[in-house]
A = this chain, B = another copy of it.
Amino acid sequence: MGHGISPLAPTTVPTLPPLRGVRLATHACGIRYEGRTDLLVAELTPNTAVGGVLTKSLTASAPVDMCRANLKGGKARLLVVNAGNSNAFTGQKGISTVEATVSAGARVFGCKRNEVFISSTGTIGVPLPAEKITNAFPAVFSALKEDGWAEAAKAIMTTDTFPKAATRVATIDGMPVTINGICKGSGMIAPDMATMLAYVFTDAALEPAAVQTLITAGANKSFNCVTVDGDTSTSDTLLMFATGQAKHRYVSSAVDPRLTEFRAKLDDLLIDLAKQVARDGEGATKFIEIKVTGADGDAAARRIAMSIANSPLVKTAVAGEDANWGRIVMAVGKAGEKASRDRLAITIGGVLVARNGEAVEGYNEAPVTAHMKGREIVIEVDVGISRGSATVWTCDLTHGYIDINGSYRT
């Protein structure tokens, strides 16, 4: 889109190792973009377990409907992701495109139709001819390789300014297993599902039901705690694939104590990816962490934190490097959750600026001002009711957001 890399991008992109049971290929189909790849295909070994979380949008795209249906089978052999056209709000044509893509995928890659998962991201409302994708399948099949995660992360980007990837190693039964994740998303990012597209792969040997439980729990701590603009995509998709190629004994339950370390590493990876989405928020110049404590339960805390994170007035104040805690008070007040105006305490960059319902007289403004000039802003709010807490991540609202979104289609 002609916009530079986000100033909040990680300084290095992590190198993801090959992962047993996954082969990747990318291709330039020319769906919307010129001179770059726009198709990712991941081939998964037989008996790969799959779980996922999909957008709650009531106008979800045809690919999302298909993923929701195929998740019931619990098995995956093929993931096909295209960028540039979301195949959303394309009516019967969109459904036909998904069906044709699934059929061709099953035929060329040799699997069942209900083992194929498709995601599309990009412009809404423009028909996506299936041939644009399926014509590439023979070449893609020949190009499959065990490496290629960096290319995979790049092929699914739309307005993203940097590829998003993360990797972790955990042990199960003393055996090392790998978790690789890639995702894309920078606008139309909101809770319930907060990413647009994210894929997690592991060689752990897990029952599909366990995969589903793990990814649902993980999403609630990560992608559902990040927001850029409060807008919810029609295509949001998070899928987790477990190829079962690791050497440990099969695990059938997500709460099996043997998964303790795996769960922690998976959650950590998901949070890592989710934060990368906020760091690539359209036009972002500041990464914002918002911690709410003292709420009437964790869910209430999360709603208050999201109210702050989605407030245009808070986000523009941060963009202007203004420690305008009055707007934070406003956002707490509009969240609709219990909060004590007269016990409210607000800390910015570690400095208590307001407590007991008013400004802290004579607080040292210098460190707060210095904090606001930085790239990483931390806002802590205690609402003085009970013990609920939550942490969410977002970015500021800048001229860049207007530039990008005022001219997306044209």
Given contacts A59-B330, A322-B407, A397-B402, contact A358 B89 (CB under 8 A): yes
Mark contacts of A183-200 with chain B using CB atoms, 8 A cut-off: 1 yes-contact digit, 0 otherwise: 000011010000000000
Q: Is the CB of B408 within 8 A of A329?
A: no
- One of A102-110, A113-121, A231-239 contacting the partner: A231-239
Q: Does A68 touch B at the CB level, under 8 Å?
A: no
Mark contacts of A78-95 with chain B using CB atoms, 8 A cut-off: 1 yes-contact digit, 0 otherwise: 000000001011111110
Tally of contact residues, A, Cβ under 8 A: 71
Of A313, A342, A402, most B-chain CB atoms within 10 Å: A402
Q: Does A334 touch B at the CB level, under 8 Å?
A: yes
Q: Which residues of B contact A125 (CB under 8 A)?
A: 325-326, 329, 354, 358-359
Number of identical monomers bound together in the oligomeric complex? 2
Within 8 A of B (CB), among A187-239: 187-188, 190, 229-234
Q: Is the CB of B316 within 8 A of A406?
A: yes
User: Measured between C-beta atoms, what is the minimum distance from A236 to chain B in Å?
Assistant: 10
Cross-chain contact of A356 among B91, B357, B402 (Cβ < 8 A): B91
CA distance A58 to B296 in the complex (A): 14
Q: Which residues of B contact A232 (CB under 8 A)?
A: 330, 333-334
Q: Is the CB of A60 within 8 A of B317?
A: no
User: Measured between C-beta atoms, what is the minimum distance from A11 to chain B in Å?
Assistant: 27
CA distance A409 to B94 in the complex (A): 49
- Known contacts A58-B335, A89-B359, A322-B408; can you find 13 more A-B pairs with CB under 8 A? A57-B330, A58-B341, A59-B330, A88-B329, A124-B327, A126-B359, A188-B313, A230-B310, A230-B312, A231-B331, A312-B397, A316-B405, A320-B407
